[in-house]
Structure 1
Amino acid sequence: MTKTRIMIVDDHEVVRLGLRTAFEAEPDLVVVGEASNGAEALAKVAVLDPQLILMDVRMEKMDGIETCREIKNRYPDVHILMLTSYTDEDAVIASILAGASGYLLKHLSRAELLRSIRRAAVGQTLIDADATKRAMERMIQMPGSELTEREREVLALIARGYTNKQIAEALTVTEKTARNHVSHILEKLGLSRRSEAAVYAVEHKLVPPKEQQKDENS
């Protein structure tokens, strides 16, 4: 029998032990390794070659959402189930965007956990339908949700005062491409000037906090 290879990522040892114990008696499941934070998990994936990862949402050094995104970028065939102690719509949204296969509460029963593991292992999505609906509705209403990821990067650079030439250099694209991105951003946001786009980005917190702090200190 082919066993589903599972990796457990959680910063609490007792949680990792409990999950490992839950799988030990299952003939079709095997825990191939553990990690106590996202950075450690990212380093171990290539070596452990898991098919499915159980990932805690909140961890130090590198949280579960960021780790999920990085792993899915590098290993798109790996299925990831996010684990959390309580429902958080922001985390549900982030999980969906990061490519997670599901979002599970830690207090679910062993039977529910095993059922979820087996469903996720064959590619099924396990994020609760109602939670997904609410999350998607919020995503539609989120400022800047109409922008692509690259356009959001450009918007952040506009907010930092970058010219089209500087944006092109920062993103390794042509100046014409940078100019087109700026035009698309203004059109999508219903704005006419890049200064308005800069204000919009700051007011709606579309500029990463580290970037804002860097600018304030420069």
Structure 2
Amino acid sequence: VRAVEGVGRGEAPLDPTLTPKVLQRVRGGEHSRAEAAFRVLTERELEILARVAEGKTNREIAQELFLSHKTVRNYMSTVLQKLGIANRTEAAAYAIRHHLHEYLSKD
């Protein structure tokens, strides 16, 4: 109750010395969730997702990886399903937002 009253008076709800630590944990939680999501993808799915994030088409990806464009399309469908994402634009945004390239460079 005191905390709510304090916020009503314009006071910070958290001790200012704790705020950076709390924010770091929240952000770290997002990062670890993304890493967990990336871990469910196979190496090939990650390769394809990374190229989608670069703006490449299925045909371009197929040429680079020596696959048929239908195979790339099937991989992308699996990626979308595993990540719970509706389309390739969202998948590209997800990969960029969650730093897929950094995740891939860890290995």
Q: Which TM bucket (shorter chain)?
A: 0.5 to 0.7
Aligned to 2:61: 167
Supply the distance in 1 between the matched residues of 2:46 and 2:92 (Cα, whole angstroms).
11
| Counterpart mapping for 1:17-166 below 5 A | 142-166=36-60
Supply the distance in 2 between the matched residues of 1:208 and 1:173 (Cα, whole angstroms).
25
Which ranges in structure 1 are unaligned for 5 or more consecutive residues? 1-137, 210-218
Q: For residue 205 of structure 1, report the CA deviation from its aligned partner.
A: 0.9
Supply the distance in 1 between the matched residues of 2:102 and 2:55 (Cα, whole angstroms).
14
Letter in 1 for 2:89: S
* TM-score after normalising by structure 2: 0.61
Supply the distance in 2 between the matched residues of 1:206 and 1:191 (Cα, whole angstroms).
15
Letter in 2 for 1:172: F
| Correspondence for 1:182 among 61, 76, 80 | 76
Q: Which has the higher helix share?
A: 2
The two structures, once aligned, show a CA RMSD in angstroms of 2.3
Residue 193 in structure 1 maps to residue 83 in structure 2 = no
**For each residue in 1:156-197, what CA deviation from the matched residue of structure 2 results, as whole angstroms up to 9, or x when unmatched?**
000000111001001110111011011100010001110000
Q: Is the 8 A contact 2:41 2:79 kept in 1?
A: yes
Q: For residue 208 of structure 1, report the CA deviation from its aligned partner.
A: 4.9
Q: Which has the higher strand share?
A: 1
**For each residue in 1:122-145, what CA deviation from the matched residue of structure 2 results, as whole angstroms up to 9, or x when unmatched?**
xxxxxxxxxxxxxxxx79x62311
Letter in 2 for 1:143: A
* TM-score after normalising by structure 1: 0.31
Which ranges in structure 2 are unaligned for 5 or more consecutive residues? 1-31
